[in-house]
Amino acid sequence: MNKQPVLDAFQAVPTTGIAICDMNKFLGTVLEKITLTLGGGAFTRAMVTLIQLKANGKVIWESDGTKIDATSQYFRAVVDPTIIKIDFMDRLARTVNAFQAGGIDLSDASGITQLRLEVTIAGATTPTLAGFADVSPPSNDPVEAGIRFLIARRHRASITIGAAGQFALPIPHLDPAGGGGNYRRIWLYSANMTALKTVRDGVVEHELTKLQNESAQKDNGRLPQANLVVFDPVQDGQLSQRTWDTRPSSKVRSAQLYGTFSGAETFFAEVEELLPFAAY
C-alpha cells in the first residue's frame, strides 16, 4: 500500500438493488485492497448478497458480505460489523512475491481499460455505502516479473449434494480440458462436509478429515470458521510450487476435488486463483 484514495461516489445505493462504483480512476496503479463502509439505517454485511468487480465487463472477483467476513476471520483480520474488506493480496505470506501476488495491476500493459465495482443489496433501510482503496505504483522490479500480472480471480458456484457420502465436486475452472485453474485457495461454505480429497492425474495429493485440515491450518496461523472448509495449499505462507495447478501447461491431464458429507445440502464454493487477465 502506497496510497489510500477514496472511491468515487456510488451512482445510487438502493434498499434493494445494485449499487455501482466507477473505478476507472485507479487505472495505472496496482489495486491491492478495497475497503467498504456500510452506513445508514439497518444495513449489515448479510444484506450485501453479492459483490462483483468487473474488468472490461468481465467478472474477476465475486463473493458476498457474509462469506467475505468468514474469509477475513480465517486470516485473523480485525472484523468490524460495518466494514467489508476485499483483499487481493496475502497478508500472512512469508515471502515478498507471495505477499504481493494477486494485486490487480491496472497499468497499460495489463490490458484492463475499464474497472467497475457492483454491490448487490437486499432488504436494507436508507443504506449508505462509501469506501477507499489501497493502491501502489506498478513495479518494474525483475524479482516481481513472474507475479506482476497475476490477478487473484475469485469465482463462485452453487453446489447441491443429494445425500451423505463422497462426491466429486464441480469446482469452477477445475477441468484441465476446459483450461484448468491455478488455485491459491478453494473456499467451501458447507455445513455438512466432513473430509476432502484432491487428486491430479490419478494421484491422491491431499486426503484429510475436516478436523485434520483445520489442525494443520491452525499450525500455520489460520483461524478455521464454522460452516467453512478451506483447501489451502499455500497455508504455510509460501507460494512457489505451492499453488494447486490444474492447467494443461502444468502437464496436468485430469483433476478432481472430492468432498465427504454427513448429509444433503446446497452450498457455495468460491475459488481463488492466480491468473493473468489474458486468461479470462
Amino acid at 128: T
Q: Which residue among 148, 179, 213 closes a domain?
A: 148
Average pLDDT estimate for 270-279: 92
- CATH number of the structural domain spanning residue 75: 2.60.120.730
Q: Which residue among 101, 126, 148 closes a domain?
A: 148
Give Cβ neighbours of residue 44 (< 8 Å, ≥ 6 apart): 38, 65, 81, 124
Note down the domain range covering 223.
152-279
Q: Give pLDDT tens digits for 72-131.
A: 999 998 888 899 999 998 877 777 777 788 899 999 989 999 999 999 999 999 999 999
Mean pLDDT of the chain: 94
Q: How many other C-beta atoms can be found within 10 angstroms of the C-beta atom of residue 252?
A: 16
In a domain, 88, yes or no: yes
State the total domains in the chain. 2
- For cell 462469506, the residue is 67
For residue 207, what are the β-bridge partners?
197
Distance CA 106, CA 24 (A): 9
Q: Which residue among 112, 133, 148 closes a domain?
A: 148
Shared-domain flag, residues 235 and 260: yes
What's the pTM value of the predicted model, to 2 decimals?
0.94
Cell of 192: 455438512
Average pLDDT estimate for 127-139: 95
Nearest to 208 by CA among 221, 92, 224: 224
Q: Give pLDDT tens digits for 154-207.
A: 999 999 999 999 999 999 999 999 999 999 999 999 999 999 999 999 999 999
